[in-house]
């Protein structure tokens, strides 16, 4: 099947989408399946018999590709934070220290 991915999401997740299109096995996602009320749990309902509720443990393990994306986002966020500090905070700190070099804090 096919699906439509909007341009913004495509730009954000291009490496992951390309890996899926290339047929790369993505650890942590390769053995996925349905979760929730529509999932098959033996009785076809996704829930236990009677008043019992079936409980499942889901373990998410990021793939190497996802770890790379997380590192990219973290680096970008850190850079933007430092740029903001340099632009907005540091000039005031420098001015305050220049005006009162013996001040504390």
Report pLDDT digits (tens) over 77-94: 999 999 999 999 999 888
Q: Nearest Cα to 53, choosing from 45, 62, 61?
A: 45
Q: What was the pLDDT predicted at 47?
A: 45
pTM over 0.85: no
What pLDDT score does 37 carry? Answer: 57
Model confidence at 74, pLDDT cuts 50, 70, 90, reads very high
The better pLDDT of the pair 24, 72 is held by 72
- 45: pLDDT strictly greater than 50: no
């Amino acid at each position: 099947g096919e699906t439509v991915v909007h341009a913004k999401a495509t730009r954000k997740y291009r490496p992951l989408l390309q890996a899926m299109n290339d047929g790369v096995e993505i650890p942590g996602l390769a053995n996925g399946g349905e979760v929730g009320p529509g999932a098959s749990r033996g009785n076809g309902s996704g829930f236990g018999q009677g008043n019992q509720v079936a409980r499942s443990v889901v373990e998410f393990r990021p793939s190497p590709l996802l770890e790379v994306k997380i590192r990219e986002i973290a680096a970008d966020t850190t850079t933007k934070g430092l740029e903001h500090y340099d632009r907005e905070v540091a000039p005031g700190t420098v001015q305050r220290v220049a005006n009162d070099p013996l001040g504390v804090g």
